[in-house]
């Protein structure tokens, strides 16, 4: 199966709609019949290219899109790469104040969990750091 050309709307870093993750690894993800190198945010409104390469880069600024859609998100899954890395308690509190729960795990586990929760039509989002 030939890989689809990247849609013009993703050139700006956004693909509308909810999409499951088909595969992950090699520095990126496959979803919606295309591939993306780098990290991604999966939100109720769509998939965003996410300029985060390491867990230490996850801060309020990196999660502003999550805050903007908090009304449609009950749980944010954060995939921190190959290893589980703790998230700053202040950031966890900031998300809680916005009504968003947080679960941190390896990127692979977060992608698989995201797919299951989307299939169950749950109000879930994911912030996934790409792994090699």
Which CATH number covers residue 72? 3.40.1230.10
Read off the pTM.
0.90
Label residue 11 by pLDDT band (50, 70, 90). Answer: very low
Does residue 105 belong to any structural domain of this protein?
Answer: yes
Pairing verdict, β 28-31 and 14-16: unpaired
Beta-carbon contacts of residue 22 (< 8 Å; ≥ 6 apart): 29, 30, 31
Does residue 94 belong to any structural domain of this protein?
Answer: yes
Range of the domain at 79: 9-128
Does residue 1 belong to any structural domain of this protein?
Answer: no
Label residue 14 by pLDDT band (50, 70, 90). Answer: confident
Q: Is the pLDDT of residue 9 over 60?
A: no
Does residue 93 belong to any structural domain of this protein?
Answer: yes
The domain tally of the chain equals 1
pLDDT value of residue 115:
98
């Amino acid at each position: 199966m030939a890989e689809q050309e990247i849609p013009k709307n993703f050139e700006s870093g956004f693909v509308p709609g909810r999409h499951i993750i088909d595969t992950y690894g090699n520095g990126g993800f496959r979803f919606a019949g295309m591939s993306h190198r780098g990290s991604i945010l999966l939100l109720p409104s769509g998939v965003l290219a996410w300029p985060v390469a390491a867990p230490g880069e996850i801060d309020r600024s990196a999660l502003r899109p999550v805050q903007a859609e908090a009304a449609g998100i009950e749980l944010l899954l954060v995939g921190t790469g190959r290893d589980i890395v703790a998230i700053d308690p202040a950031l966890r509190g900031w998300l809680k104040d916005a009504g968003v729960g947080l679960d941190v795990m390896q990127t692979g586990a977060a992608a698989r969990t995201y797919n299951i929760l989307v299939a169950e039509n749950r109000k879930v989002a994911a912030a996934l750091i790409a792994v090699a």
